Every structure is written in structure tokens, then in C-alpha cells.
Amino acid sequence: MININENFLNLQDSYLFSTIAKKVSEFQKNNPNKKIIKLGIGDVTRPIVPEVLKAMHKAIDELGNIETFRGYGPEQGYDFLKNKISEFDYAKRGVTISPDEIFVSDGAKCDCGNIGDILGEDNIVAITDPVYPVYLDTNVMAGRSGKYNNKTGKYENIIYIPATAENNFIPEFPNKVPDMIYLCFPNNPTGTTLSKSELKKWVDYAKENKALILFDSAYEAFISDEDVPHTIYEIDGAKEVAIEFRSFSKTAGFTGVRCAYTVVPKELIAYTKSGEKIELNSLWNRRHGTKFNGVSYPVQRAAEAIYSDEGQRQIKENIMYYMNNAKIIKEGLQDAGFTVYGGVNAPYIWLKVPEGLTSWEFFDKLLNEVNVVGTPGVGFGPSGEGYFRLTAFGTKENTIEAIERIKNMN
């Protein structure tokens, strides 16, 4: 008899974005003349830059010519892209990551989920709270979560590390030592960062406890402060304890183009239950080669084009456009008396909802009174209650208007 993976039955249905969509569409139906401004979704809106378009067009023409046609590429990605990544994202920051430590993929979401394939089922998982739900759900599927507790809103075997205003959004070491620690900085959803010294504490903690850090660096391109590390490998010893996930989705507007990469250093060691040391690089290489067939060739050429001088200039223009929106939101909300976090090194603004309201109540208030849509913090985890996320990915005009409306809200 064919059995399912019963861990899937432990998954909680996420009604977050579907509930938002339903509420928005109901409101619009009842108020057809109101112009709703959506600052809820974490998707980019600026078009792909000309250098990237040019590279993709060229790559496609190559595929149409028998002399330059390419079929299967290396599962790990073409050298032309991995060399650029190694040089620009690492060597230029004083970090040595060799091309065979880089695995190009079609998305950081896929990699964050699939990485669990090479790790033991009994590892104890820690996530920060609030959190990007993929870290949690993929571990539920893999059997690392235990049962869900409806009262606490938590899974029994998952360690939740709160990151809230109380601890300045700096996650503290939990009481129980985890084996896998997901860290995302600049953070989604809070938009906050860790300084080098704060991140170093986590690297040292992981070394001391033979734990693995899964470092999601999807928002690296938005960093402007000097002391914020662009890669975890800027921290001494991180290569021995951390896997880094990077994405072109937000960096270059590739959410629909699909390209990302994962770094698994050769120094990174995990263990068998009997204590034998195993290189994770070779395990991931085997997984990637067996269950993946490489990223679309024109897409890899698109990613390569980002690293040209002109490509860099063009994508930075978009980043600045979004970060100007972030500034508008942050300063506007502060003027309006809100307490606001993030928005400096990340495209997310995390605000404290007014005293006495839950994050869903604040969602309803914003939608009904000023027709602005954001995301209730509790949707990202229990510690997100009392907070609300706005994103900088709208147009400048809409962003200004939304903030003006909020300012004038009763």
C-alpha cells in the first residue's frame, strides 16, 4: 500500500496571503471607487535592466544557432557565472570562495528547502521568530518539527528565537542548543540587521556547539551601513559552520527570471551519528547533481550580465529607487508618530501597531480607513504579533500617497 509522508499532515495551512487577498477583494467589491495601494507583497516591480535583457537576447540567439547551441549545462552552474560570483560577491569583499563551493540554482526558496535533504532527520532546528515561513514548513515536511501546538502557535520540537523590539531584534542564544540555525539578515520580515560583532557571536556559538548556520542573504544588495556584513563569510570561522543562500530575485528583479545560488564551503563539516566527519560540499554536490539539472542557459547569462560595470550601475539604480521608497515610508511613519524598524539596509519596514490593536486589527484599519494594504506581523510567527510589515517595492508615487494617507488617518 502506497503511504504518504505523514509529516505533511503536521503542516498548518497558511491563510496569511489568501486571507489578505480575500479581505482586499471584498473591500474593493464594496468600494469600487476607492483606490487601494498595496505595500504588502515582497515582489519587485521595476523592470529588468537593459544590460540583462541584452545578455538574454544574445543567449537565446545562441540557442537558435547550431554552431552555438547548448544543451545540458553543468548541474552546478556554468563557470562564467560562478567565476563572477566568486570574484564580485566574495573576493572583492576579501573573502575567498572558490567556484566549486558555489551552486547556481533556480531560487533561494528551493535551496532553503532542499538543503534539508542532506541533513539528518533528528537535528534540532532553531528559527528566529518572526520568520520567512519556508524554513519552518520545509522542516515540518522533513519530520523535524514534531506536532503543532494550537495554544502556543508553535511546533513542539522547533526552537523559536524571538527577535523583537525588546531585544533590539538581535536573536539571543536559546536555552536548548540547536543543530540547525536559520538566520536571515538583512531580515525578512523585520528589515533589521546584525552587526559583524553580533553575527560573530553566532558563528562562535555554532562552532562551540557543532551546529550549522543556514544563512539567508537574499537582501544583501540593500545594505548601506558600513558595519553590516554582506556575507557571513566576512566573519572568521564562518566557513566551518555556515551555508549561505543568495538570490538575484531582489538584487536584480529576477523574481520571475529565477536565479540564485548557494555556497557550501569545503571546510564545512557535519557528522554521522557515530561522530565521523563528512564534508557537506560533496553531499550537496551529489544532491544537486542527482535531483537538479542546472539553470536555464539564458538565465545564467542574465545573471552574469549583472556583474558588468553597466549592469551594476543599472541594478543599483533600481535598488536606490526602492530604498528611497523605504525612506519615504520610514520617515513618514515616524512623523506620524509610529515606532518603525528596518528600512535602512532592507526593503522592509516593520512598524509597531498602535497600542491596543492586534496586527490583524491594524490590517483592517489600514485597509478600511485609508485603503492601504500591508502584512500583519503575526503571519510570520507568534512574536510578530503587534507588528506590521510594509514593503518598499511599490512605485514612488503610490508609496508617497500611501504614507500621506496613513499620516492623515485618525
State which of positions 63-82 bind a copy of itself (CB under 8 A). 63-66, 69-73
Pick from 16, 19, 23, 46: which binds a copy of itself (CB under 8 A)? 46
Pick from 29, 273, 355, 410: which binds a copy of itself (CB under 8 A)? 273
Is residue 161 within 8 A of residue 24, CB to CB? The reply is no
Which of residues 134 and 336 has its CB atom nearest to a copy of itself in the complex? 134
Which of residues 121 and 369 has its CB atom nearest to a copy of itself in the complex? 121
C-alpha cell at 139: 522542516
Pick from 22, 34, 57, 396: which binds a copy of itself (CB under 8 A)? 57
* 138 is an interface residue for a copy of itself by CB under 8 A: yes
- Rounded Cα distance, 348 and 190, in Å: 6
CB 156, min distance to a copy of itself, A: 20
Of 56, 109, 67, residue with least CA distance to 297: 56
Pick from 218, 252, 270, 333: which binds a copy of itself (CB under 8 A)? 270
Binding to a copy of itself in span 190-249, by CB under 8 A: 209-212
Which of residues 62 and 404 has its CB atom nearest to a copy of itself in the complex? 62
CB 143, min distance to a copy of itself, A: 9
| Bridge partners, 160 (sequence order) | 127
Burial (CB count within 10 angstroms: exposed 0-12, middle 13-18, buried 19+), residue 327: middle
CB 201, min distance to a copy of itself, A: 18
* 114 is an interface residue for a copy of itself by CB under 8 A: yes
* 121 is an interface residue for a copy of itself by CB under 8 A: yes
CB 4, min distance to a copy of itself, A: 5
Which of residues 161 and 370 has its CB atom nearest to a copy of itself in the complex? 161
- φ/ψ region of 322 (left if φ > 0, alpha if ψ in -120 to 50, else beta) reads alpha
CB 57, min distance to a copy of itself, A: 6
- Rounded Cα distance, 294 and 78, in Å: 9
Question: Looking at this protein, which amino acid is placed at residue 232?
Answer: I
CB 364, min distance to a copy of itself, A: 25
Q: Write down the residue that cell numbers 535551496 correspond to.
A: 111
* b/e map 192-211, b = 16+ CB within 10 Å: bbbeeebbbbbbebbbeeeb
CB 91, min distance to a copy of itself, A: 28
Is residue 131 within 8 A of residue 112, CB to CB? The reply is no
* 106 is an interface residue for a copy of itself by CB under 8 A: yes
Say which residues have a Cβ less than 8 Å from residue 284's Cβ, sequence separation at least 6.
Answer: 103, 115, 118, 262, 264
Binding to a copy of itself in span 300-339, by CB under 8 A: none
Binding to a copy of itself in span 370-409, by CB under 8 A: none
Which of residues 92 and 286 has its CB atom nearest to a copy of itself in the complex? 286
Cα-Cα-Cα-Cα torsion 78, 82, 84, 89, nearest 10 degrees, comes to 150
CA dist 169 to 34, 178, 193, 333, Å?
A: 36, 19, 8, 19
Q: Write down the residue that cell numbers 564534508 correspond to.
A: 279
Which range touches a copy of itself (CB under 8 A), out of 27-35, 156-164, 167-175, 288-296? 288-296
CB 227, min distance to a copy of itself, A: 28
CB 48, min distance to a copy of itself, A: 4
C-alpha cell at 164: 523583537
End-to-end CA distance of the chain: 61
Is residue 333 within 8 A of residue 178, CB to CB? The reply is no
DSSP-H helix ranges across 34-74: 50-63
CB 72, min distance to a copy of itself, A: 5
Query: For a copy of itself, what does the binding mask look like between residues 160 and 189, x meaning CB under 8 A?
Result: -------------------xx---------
Cα-Cα-Cα-Cα torsion 297, 245, 308, 54, nearest 10 degrees, comes to 40
Which range touches a copy of itself (CB under 8 A), out of 28-36, 43-51, 85-93, 401-409? 43-51
- Rounded Cα distance, 213 and 207, in Å: 10
Pick from 91, 278, 320, 409: which binds a copy of itself (CB under 8 A)? 278
C-alpha cell at 219: 537582501
